[in-house]
């Protein structure tokens, strides 16, 4: 059975501009590699617009990443894929604990993070790096500051409500919640913005998660993101560039 | 003290939780929370849920927020029919797939017309027409995807049976309908889905759940909606500022 994990595919895809999450950090989630020993994983390192190609649209009509194809079964949405992989491959139970209350905590975080973490973190990357790089224009300072304030507030909420004084979100062991939280919070690094600077507790948690995953795997998964600053955007399809200019309008 | 559910039926995710609990005969104490009277940001409530959001569940000492998590918790803890959150791997994955897309494309989008027409004006804010149109377009796109990618030729969103996904979707889609934007018009497939779903849930339960929101325009016209408490203003302004 072949598994197709489209890991850091097209960091700068021909973008679905109506979804700011198109740089789904979920594309970097290493869980699919960690537990799929013996399975072939296809990684697509080719051009930016690959996931708008005809071939890919057959896999995922929503043209979004990440995407899983398991025989005839096709699945999108990172959280759905992570849950599927955990169960299908009987990964160690700490990833998605079976205890009712602990699992509910993971579910609660996975739901909350969509708007509280994923969206704002992705926006920072756009505002600080991608939009200026591609359009040549800066996003108004007021909007940038608003976004950064929201991020700081939510990081605080994350620390107070989800992490608290524990090693990981569910307690002593890493779970999907930590994995998703961290890959989302890494997004701004692509634009040289580090959200962990203000809290030593969060910085310690970050390191703990990285070590639990394994630093080699962690940084391998983030390689494309960290090299984003080197991307030559002159190769970008003009139509895509135009759509990004339209996106810029939303921030005015 | 048994199960307590903190809900305001003006809120879409609250209604999804309410309908699910009632339909499945799950015994609970309803703790009404009036968002606009500032009860969400009161000291009492923030002890329940320091995220200051509804719906919230309290089960003994265990407190849980986020409608998705609450629905899954209830379906796991109480004897509910399997179809709501099937144990089958692929069927369950489809629900999570829907809920992921829902979080990005439905939540936050379908609530906007209520803000535009009723809630923002309560604090003297009027949204520019450009934003109203942008929201309409976003709703149209989402509805098209809902039909093409999820519903397709199935009876319900993720297959032939009602699931948590259908409840979450229905309650979001009702919101614009409540302020006169009939998004079911011209969409026979979606209309049929809604009718099937409401027939399954039962008209009495639907009326009980939807009564408040479907009356919202009339209440606004008769000035029966309380002026929002001052402590709620910052939250309202923040929410309004997020409308693209």
For the stretch B93-136, pLDDT in tens is 999 999 999 999 999 999 999 999 999 999 999 999 999 999 99
Quick one: A114 exposed, middle or buried, by C-beta within 10 A (0-12, 13-18, 19+)? buried
- Interface residue of B96, B140, B238 to substitute, partner A, most A CBs within 10 Å: B96
b/e per residue, A2-16, with b = 16+ CB within 10 A?
ebbbbbbbbbbbbbb
Tokens of A68: 């899983």
Kindly report the length of chain A: 252
Could you report the predicted ipTM of this complex, rounded to two decimals? 0.94
Kindly report the length of chain B: 244
- pLDDT at B35 exceeding the cut of 50: yes
- pLDDT at A71 exceeding the cut of 70: yes
Mean pLDDT of B153-170: 98
Which range is least confidently modeled, A51-65, A130-144, A176-190, B3-17?
A51-65
Crossing angle (nearest 10°) for helices B12-23 and B164-178 = 130
In which region does residue B38 sit, left (phi positive, over 0), alpha (psi from -120 to 50) or beta (all else)? left
Maximum separation of any 2 CA atoms in chain B, in Å: 50
B231 pLDDT tier (thresholds 50, 70, 90): confident
Q: Are B69 and A114 in contact (CB under 8 A)?
A: no
B121 & B218 share domain = yes
B231 SS3 class: helix
Mode of pairing for the β-strands spanning B3-7 and A67-70:
unpaired
How many structural domains does chain B have? 2
- pLDDT at B237 exceeding the cut of 70: yes
A226 pLDDT tier (thresholds 50, 70, 90): confident
B84, part of any domain: no
Cβ-Cβ contacts under 8 Å, A78 against chain B: 100
- pLDDT at A7 exceeding the cut of 50: no
B182 & B110 share domain = yes
| CATH number of the CATH domain containing B110 | 1.20.1050.10
How far apart (Å, rounded) are the C-alpha atoms in residues B49 and A133? 41
Q: Which residue has the higher pLDDT, A19 or A181?
A: A181
B83, part of any domain: no
B139 & B170 share domain = yes
Q: What is the pLDDT of residue B200?
A: 98
B100 & B61 share domain = no
Compare CB distances from A61 to B66, B90, B149 and report the shortest one's residue: B149
- Among B29, B52, B77, give the residue marking a domain's end: B77
B134 & B203 share domain = yes
B122, part of any domain: yes
Task: Supply φ then ψ for residue A19, to 5 degrees.
Answer: -125, 105
CB contact under 8 A, A76 and B244: no
B118 & B236 share domain = yes
B82, part of any domain: no
B202 & B236 share domain = yes
Cβ-Cβ contacts under 8 Å, B94 against chain A: 75, 80
B149 & B105 share domain = yes
Compare CB distances from A80 to B69, B73, B100 and report the shortest one's residue: B100
- Among B77, B100, B117, give the residue marking a domain's end: B77
B5 SS3 class: strand
Mode of pairing for the β-strands spanning B62-65 and B56-59:
antiparallel
B171 & B124 share domain = yes
CB contact under 8 A, A112 and B97: no
Which range is least confidently modeled, A71-85, B32-46, B184-198?
B32-46
B24, part of any domain: yes
B60 & B93 share domain = no
CB contact under 8 A, A77 and B101: yes
B12 SS3 class: helix
Which range is least confidently modeled, A103-107, A108-112, A136-140, B48-52?
B48-52
B50, part of any domain: yes
Range of the domain at B100: 89-241
CB contact under 8 A, B89 and A87: yes
Is the alpha carbon torsion for A166, A171, A173, A174 positive or negative?
negative
B100 & B221 share domain = yes
The per-residue pLDDT of chain A, averaged, comes to 74
| CATH number of the CATH domain containing B20 | 3.40.30.10
CA distance A194 to chain B (A): 23
B152, part of any domain: yes
B56 & B106 share domain = no
CB contact under 8 A, A115 and B107: yes
A37 pLDDT tier (thresholds 50, 70, 90): very low
- Interface residue of A72, A88, A107 to substitute, partner B, most B CBs within 10 Å: A107
- Among B27, B43, B77, give the residue marking a domain's end: B77
């Amino acid at each position: 059975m072949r598994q197709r994990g489209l890991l850091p595919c097209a960091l700068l895809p021909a973008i679905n501009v109506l979804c700011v999450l198109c740089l789904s950090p979920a594309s970097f989630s290493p869980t699919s590699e960690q537990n799929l020993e013996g399975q072939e994983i296809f990684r697509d390192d080719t051009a930016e617009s690959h996931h708008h190609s005809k071939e890919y649209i057959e896999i995922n009509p929503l043209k979004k990443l990440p995407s899983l194809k398991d025989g005839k079964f096709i699945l999108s949405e990172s959280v759905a894929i992570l849950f599927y992989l955990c169960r299908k491959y009987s990964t160690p139970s700490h990833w998605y604990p079976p205890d009712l209350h602990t699992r509910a905590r993971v579910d609660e975080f996975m739901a909350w993070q969509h708007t509280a973490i994923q969206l704002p973190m992705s926006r920072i990357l756009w505002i600080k790096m991608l939009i200026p790089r591609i359009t040549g224009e800066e996003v108004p300072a007021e909007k940038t500051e608003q976004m950064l304030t929201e991020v700081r507030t939510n990081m605080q909420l994350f620390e107070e409500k989800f992490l608290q004084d524990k090693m990981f979100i569910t307690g002593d062991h890493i779970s999907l919640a930590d994995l998703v939280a961290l890959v989302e919070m890494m997004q701004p690094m692509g634009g040289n913005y580090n959200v962990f600077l203000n809290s030593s507790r969060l910085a310690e948690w970050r390191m703990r998660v990285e070590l639990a995953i394994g630093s080699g795997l962690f940084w391998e998964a983030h390689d494309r993101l960290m090299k984003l600053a080197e991307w030559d955007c002159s190769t970008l399809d003009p139509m895509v560039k135009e759509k990004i200019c339209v996106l810029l309008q939303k921030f005015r | 003290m048994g199960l307590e559910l903190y809900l305001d039926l003006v809120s879409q995710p609250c209604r999804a939780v309410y309908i699910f609990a009632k339909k499945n005969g799950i015994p609970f104490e309803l703790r009404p929370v009036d968002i606009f009277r500032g009860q969400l940001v009161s000291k009492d409530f923030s002890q329940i849920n320091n995220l200051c959001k509804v719906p919230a569940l309290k089960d003994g000492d265990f407190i849980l927020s986020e409608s998705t998590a609450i629905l899954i918790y209830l379906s796991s803890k109480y004897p509910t029919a399997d179809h709501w959150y099937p144990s089958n791997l692929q069927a369950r994955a489809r629900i999570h797939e829907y809920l992921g897309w829902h979080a990005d494309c439905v939540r936050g989008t379908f609530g906007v017309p209520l803000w535009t027409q009723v809630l923002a004006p309560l604090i003297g804010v009027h949204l520019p027409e450009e934003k109203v149109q942008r929201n309409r377009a976003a709703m149209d796109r989402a509805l098209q995807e809902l039909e093409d990618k999820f519903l397709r030729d199935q009876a319900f969103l993720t297959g032939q049976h009602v699931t948590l996904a259908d409840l979450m979707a229905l309650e979001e889609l009702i919101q614009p309908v409540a302020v006169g934007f009939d998004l079911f018009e011209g969409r026979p497939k979606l209309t049929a889905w809604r009718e099937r779903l409401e027939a399954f849930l039962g008209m009495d339960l639907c009326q009980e759940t939807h009564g408040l929101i479907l009356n919202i325009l009339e209440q606004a016209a008769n000035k029966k909606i309380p002026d929002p408490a001052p402590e709620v203003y910052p939250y309202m302004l923040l929410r309004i500022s997020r409308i693209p």
